[in-house]
Amino acid sequence: MNGYLPRLIDQKLDTWLKTAGAVLIAGPKWTGKTMTCEQRAESAFYFTRKPGESNPLELAKIDSSIVFSGDKPRLIDEWQLMPEIWDMVRADVDARRGEKGLYLMTGSSLPPQKSKAGSLLIKHSGAGRISTLRMSTMSLFETGDSSGDVSLSALFDGADPKGQLRKVSLAEIIHFIIRGGWPGNLDVPDASLLPKDYVNRMYTTELDNLIDDIRIDRARFKRLVHSLSRNESTVCSISTLAGDAAMNGRKLDDETVARYLDILDDLFLIENQEAYSPAFRSRTRLKIGAKRHFCDPSIPAAVLGANERNLTRDMKYLGFLFESLAEHDLRIYAEVLGGRLCHYQDYDNDEADAVLELDDGRYALIEIKLGYEHAVDAAAANLMKIASKLEDKPSFLAVVSGTAPMPLKRRDGVYVLPLTSLKP
């Protein structure tokens, strides 16, 4: 498998290849999309130039048939560099009536909707022909840093958490945050370098690749990214971000902030955590603001210059970054289970860090704590208070901890789960 580390998305991808004519794997750069698709592709066309090769984009514009010629499934890598390819794939899937798994596509950004002349570059949604899966950076279970002793699926089915004693140090947790889940960053001398390079490319190359009529003040864009990094794992309004990103006493206007957030979204660099909304009516009034996250906890750490030596100087911010790490993994696990990750906040100012909701309506309330000994009691009490207000009761309550020594069930019924013990 050429050093390929299995990913949690593998099974879902294999299922969709048997279901749809084409499958797009979308997500941030450097997450392993291409390598995951290469394990299944029989041939490939890469829009990015390799050393010594002619410009593949120019060749494709001259003769688009070279993109499609080859054994199936055929990988089309970074399709967004030639947006017209979308409609061509859709048309070819239509022409091969009923055939499945014809194309694998990867994309690390959304293409512009219109050409510089104003014409639509993509004329069909691809519904029914092209299915899209979102790929994240790796979870701790995928990197091998989680033992997988505790299955979230089993907890929903009524099993109690069990696992071996394993002491995880604060230094290890900080390393996981700084390193992130980038496949190419798992075994390097300095894990902070790649995320820093990623951020620098975000400010330069990625903005340069946007079409000309998107006007970006790079200094203000950086200020917004810094503001998002400071507010990682919090519910923060656009107006708050606009004020926080002020330069020389002048805040960004809300419209500019919204436009820059759209750019980050188009690059798959932000993955916000929506507020929990029960399927049925509830007497408890819930707030609807989203909790803001970058796609990987290493990004806000890199933006603010955090590293494995200085992060312990600000334990409060370290707590927010650990929450980001935990919610990053829980979101991946929720998607594997066919569910979603939300957060809970009501007008009594009661909050739960995460709500893991399955598609059948079952859900779990989760608090996330970096520490263990002095943090779990209050977190458990908070979960039980919130659960008492909800008409549909959660399947379980859990405190996910960075340094808890082993999974356990407390006398009050609340689970204590080390992040490094979890799997879907």
Summarised one tens digit per residue, pLDDT across range 166-213 is 999 999 999 999 999 999 999 999 999 999 999 999 998 887 776 544
Strand, coil or helix: 366: strand
pTM (2 decimals)?
Answer: 0.93
CB 397, CB 354: distance < 8 Å = no
249 Cβ neighbours under 8 A, 6+ residues apart: none
In the predicted structure, residue 278 carries a pLDDT above the cut 80? no
Q: What residue segments make up the domains of the chain, in order of their start?
A: 10-134, 140-213+260-423
Most confidently predicted of 215-219, 246-250, 271-275, 277-281: 271-275
Largest CA distance in the chain: 70
CB 89, CB 80: distance < 8 Å = no
CA distance 110 to 247: 29
Summarised one tens digit per residue, pLDDT across range 240-264 is 898 888 877 777 889 999 999 999 9
CB 77, CB 46: distance < 8 Å = yes
Summarised one tens digit per residue, pLDDT across range 366-420 is 999 999 988 999 999 999 999 999 989 999 999 999 999 999 999 999 999 999 9
CB 134, CB 340: distance < 8 Å = no
The CATH code for residues 10-134 is: 3.40.50
Summarised one tens digit per residue, pLDDT across range 112-164 is 654 454 455 565 566 778 999 999 999 999 999 999 999 999 999 999 999 99
User: For 328, what's the count of Cα atoms within 13 Å in the CB-facing half-sphere?
Assistant: 30
